[in-house]
Amino acid sequence: MIMGKVDAVSRVSVLKNEPEEGLRRFDRRFSDGGLLKGARSLRSISGPCIIRPLMERGFVAHIRTWMHDRLLVTYSTGDGVSLLRTSQFCGDGFERFVLVCMLASGRMAANQRGTDVEAGPGDALILLPGEPYTAHIEDGSDTLAFFVARGFFDSQGINTDLLNVASIQVNGAVSALAALSHWAMQDRDSEVSGHTGHIERAILEILAGVVTTSMESLDDSDAETIKSRGRVLELIDSCFADPDLSADSIARQVGMSRRNLYRLFEGKGPGITQMIRDRRLDHAQVLLRRMPETSIGAVAIDSGFSGSDQFSRAFKERHGQSASQYREAGGVDAPTEF
């Protein structure tokens, strides 16, 4: 079993910081249950991803949520949907979590890091909201989605940096988690708060076992590759504001050739140069939303771009509008035809 050492300064493990407000808004909307009718009802959801119906006409689905300190649970049933999480959701709070989906019935398929996975009844599907993914849930599926704070897994000695998208058989865990989740939702209805902490702990213990099982399938070479990718991603995350950061400088710092560096991410999604640019753009997005008085040039420099021209071209290419237009629109991307 590959666990990995977790840094003593763990990630945030409770839902009390500003970025988690996105989760709270989602929970407040559906804590009493919500009936969605028609494709337009999906567009009104402010959640972790873009949601589209598999069939536009006659769409009907039901969603209900429950949230406690380190956990958001979502139960959904009804017509099929496609889920698309892109880098535009940076800063919404969900990236601090691991997503574990379980199906009581139906099927679900997903793609992340260039890997395709499928899950059916009795299966668990693990996704990482910190990175883009796509997923499709077929009509009539009963799905439980658990957003678990990464800090919880870290506190259990599970290194979430080694996690990868996966689908595993969990069989009895699905029925146990379904029973606990529905109990939690009913418990809130009756305003009996004494049980909620116990329910959360029981759910988290089962989910920790599920995640540990998914990591047991990794062999040593898989683990080394994932660790190396993790070191590169950590460098990008900590040094993106340095305009000299590049594939060459990263290769030198991690002690490998440029060719081997590119091989680490071959077939796993964006390449090194794009990941650096995307991280800079993600940071710029946050600055544009939260610091309206900061000039576009200062946003560009603070985000690691060599100047405002380079930043403006990259930003417009990704968002379909200039940084100034994005800021004036309140941090909303230009409409896109799908």
Which residue type sits at 294? T
CA torsion sign for 224, 225, 228, 233 is: negative
Domain identity same for 228 and 164: no
Which residue type sits at 98? V
Whether 73 has a pLDDT exceeding 90, the answer reads yes
Domain boundary among 174, 191, 217: 217
Q: Does the residue 4 lie in any domain?
A: no
Q: Does the residue 25 lie in any domain?
A: yes
Q: Does the residue 333 lie in any domain?
A: no
Neighbouring residues of 104: CB distance < 8 A, sequence distance ≥ 6: 121, 142, 143, 144, 174, 175, 178
Residue 11: what pLDDT?
32
Domain identity same for 28 and 77: yes
Residues of the chain above pLDDT 70, percent: 84
Token pair 């249950």: residue: 33
Identify which of 111, 266, 200 has the alpha carbon closest to the alpha carbon of residue 119.
111
Domain identity same for 79 and 203: yes
Whether 243 has a pLDDT exceeding 90, the answer reads yes
C-alpha of 228 from chain center: 21
Identify which of 94, 69, 78 has the alpha carbon closest to the alpha carbon of residue 14.
69
CA torsion sign for 180, 181, 183, 188 is: positive
Domain boundary among 217, 249, 275: 217
Domain identity same for 165 and 282: no
Domain identity same for 115 and 191: yes
Model confidence pLDDT, tens digit, residues 184-240: 887 665 444 557 778 888 999 999 988 887 776 655 555 577 678 778 888 888 899
Domain identity same for 121 and 256: no
Domain boundary among 191, 217, 243: 217
Give the count of domains, the chain.
Answer: 2
| Highest mean pLDDT: which range of 91-95, 128-132, 229-233 | 128-132
Q: Does the residue 10 lie in any domain?
A: no
Domain identity same for 186 and 147: yes
Domain CATH number, residue 269: 1.10.10.60
Residue 86: what pLDDT?
86
Instruction: Give buried/exposed letters for 66-103 (b at 16+ CB in 10 A, else e).
Output: bbbebbbbbbbbbbbbbbbbeebbbbbbbbbbbbbbbb
Q: Does the residue 233 lie in any domain?
A: yes
Residue 2: what pLDDT?
32
Which run of H or E residues covers position 135?
strand 133-137
- Put simply, whether the predicted model's pTM sits higher than 0.75 gets the answer no
Q: Does the residue 139 lie in any domain?
A: yes
Model confidence pLDDT, tens digit, residues 274-312: 889 988 998 898 888 888 889 999 999 999 999 999 999
Q: Does the residue 198 lie in any domain?
A: yes
Residue 285: what pLDDT?
86
Q: How far apart are CA 141 and CA 82, in angstroms?
A: 13
Domain CATH number, residue 94: 2.60.120.10
Domain identity same for 200 and 213: yes
Q: How far apart are CA 62 and CA 78, in angstroms?
A: 6
Q: Does the residue 265 lie in any domain?
A: yes
Domain hosting residue 281, numbered range? 221-328
- Average confidence (pLDDT) over 60-73: 90
Q: Check residue 57 and report its DSSP letter.
A: T
Domain identity same for 210 and 266: no
Domain identity same for 210 and 255: no
Domain identity same for 201 and 275: no
Query: Is residue 48 classed as helix, strand or coil in its secondary structure?
Result: coil
Domain identity same for 90 and 68: yes
